[in-house]
Amino acid sequence: MAQPLLTLDFLDRAAPVAEATPAGNVRVTLPTRTGRQRKLYIESYGCQMNFSDSEIVSSILFDEGFDTTDDLANADLVLLNTCSIREKAEQTVRMRLKQINSHKKRKPDMLVGVLGCMAERLKSKFLEEEKIVDLVVGPDAYRDLPQLIAQVDGGQKGVNVLLSREETYADITPVRLNSNGVSAFISIMRGCDNMCSFCVVPFTRGRERSRDAHSIVQEARDLVAAGYKEVTLLGQNVDSYKWAAANGSEHVNFAQLLERVALISPELRVRFSTSHPKDITDEVLHTMARHENICKYIHLPAQSGNSRVLALMNRTYDRAWYEERVNRIREILGEDCAISTDMIAGFCSETEEEHADTKSLMHFVKYDMAYQFFYSERPGTLAARKLADDVPLETKKRRLQELIDIQQVHSAERNARAVGQVHKVLVENFSKRSKDDLSGRNSQNQVVIFPKGNFKKGDYVNVLVHSSSASTLLGEALN
């Protein structure tokens, strides 16, 4: 699942203070109070799964005696949790590593490590050729961090990028770093078995495995007890979640898991991401329809609107299948259920006619929101080995802009449908523009801004929407 780049700085596991920077990045600052000697600094890039992983890493290292800092110059250990989904993401991390190494020259004892997807893919370059890091740790090896740090302290390099068929970190309580104190992520599975030809995830995160359903429900219960009002169940493909007890006495699919979490409390909103069009079932849709607190929002990546291109991408569905799934969403959940997507412009050998099919699919669905990119060949993927990246860059950019232009219109149209309606909004923070206004989201994941009055973060507020743009709804509280 591709997401906009985010940066995360954190200090400690106390209650967070969230701040949105002008560039749209997210910085979460937590006050330091432990006074421990060794200081940890971490940044995360890429998808929500990486942010969830950073919470696991911070928990492991906190229990090993690390204090934390938001001052890079004060850090003894600097970790970058990285993304390989696009070339630009890797370039961003490389530039950041150069900046960090300038600090390291002034503080030679500082340890620098790379975590996540780039770690697995570029371990030899980082450690042997470029010599810009001390630690390289893959997504399934975070439990080994204390031992690897000890190796580096002893003068060796620390590396573990082995992938696992069992690791889910189910027994580790994450430190809620990238949270506003209202919403939290819960990882329900790891890895991916889909082998889309453009994607590096199966190679960097390994095979798919589902986490114990009871540990997921318990984590959600703990969050409710701590005052959280919303959880997002995370996986590369949540609809393929399947867990069975060791003795075979219990089997849980995603629809059943979703219902178990929803039943914890009617005050707990439940979201999930990401769905795969080949796996999302009517059972999941009917479960969403039964429970008001399961948000009416589905991220359903299409990637292309042309069946030949979808086959080259190894998506294992065609356009007709995708349209049928969209129709079922509309039939079971209604026209107001929000749908978002991922789209790739200029995939290998894509013609103008096939690009036009993607545009026509966008007109058919009328997505509420879309993550859109031009194709970026990733080394080691099936497409890189078997397909020619033969669409010129300028053509890719032009096609991408055409998709963006269409989505801008559709987002504005979908938001305009909300005008004149009352929406239940979960308050997440102040508006970016004014402390006099609050910001939250409705069930459809639309951002709603309204005057704060006597309301506060974590409140549910009924808001009458009076105007909209392509990205925001504006309204007045009715409570």
The tally of CA atoms less than 13 A away on the side-chain side of residue 119 is: 29
Whole-angstrom Cα distance, residue 388 to residue 183?
42
| Radius of gyration of the CA atoms of the chain, in A | 22
Query: What is the sign, positive or negative, of the torsion defined by CA atoms of 408, 414, 415, 419?
Result: positive
Residues 6+ apart with CB under 8 A from 31: 11, 12, 14, 17
- The CATH code of the domain at 182-295 is 3.30.750.210
Residue 370 identity (one-letter amino acid): A
CA distances from 305 to 302, 338, 364 (A): 7, 19, 10
Whole-angstrom Cα distance, residue 103 to residue 110?
8
Contact 51, 6 (CB under 8 A): yes
Residues 6+ apart with CB under 8 A from 91: none
Closest CA to 3 of 398, 342, 300: 342
Cα dihedral 302, 472, 449, 223, rounded to 10, equals 10
Degrees to nearest 5, angle at CA 259 with 3 and 171: 70
Whole-angstrom Cα distance, residue 256 to residue 450?
36
Matching fold, domains 182-295 and 422-477? no
Closest CA to 352 of 306, 317, 410, 315: 306
The CATH number fitting domain 422-477, selected from 2.60.40.10, 1.10.1060.10, 2.40.50.140, 2.40.100.10: 2.40.50.140
Fold of 17-160: Rossmann fold (3.40.50)
Whole-angstrom Cα distance, residue 232 to residue 234?
6
Percent of the chain with pLDDT over 90: 67
Regions of the chain with pLDDT less than 50: 1-33
Whole-angstrom Cα distance, residue 40 to residue 68?
4
Take residue 331 and report the two structure tokens written for it: 């039939």
**300-417 domain in CATH 3.30.750.200?**
yes
Domain ranges of the chain: 17-160, 182-295, 300-417, 422-477
Collapsed DSSP state (helix, strand, coil) of residue 165: coil
Residue with tokens 């069946």: 307
Model confidence, pTM: 0.86
pLDDT digits (tens, 9 = 90+) for 32-61: 445 557 888 998 888 888 888 888 898 899
Closest CA to 40 of 68, 8, 71: 68
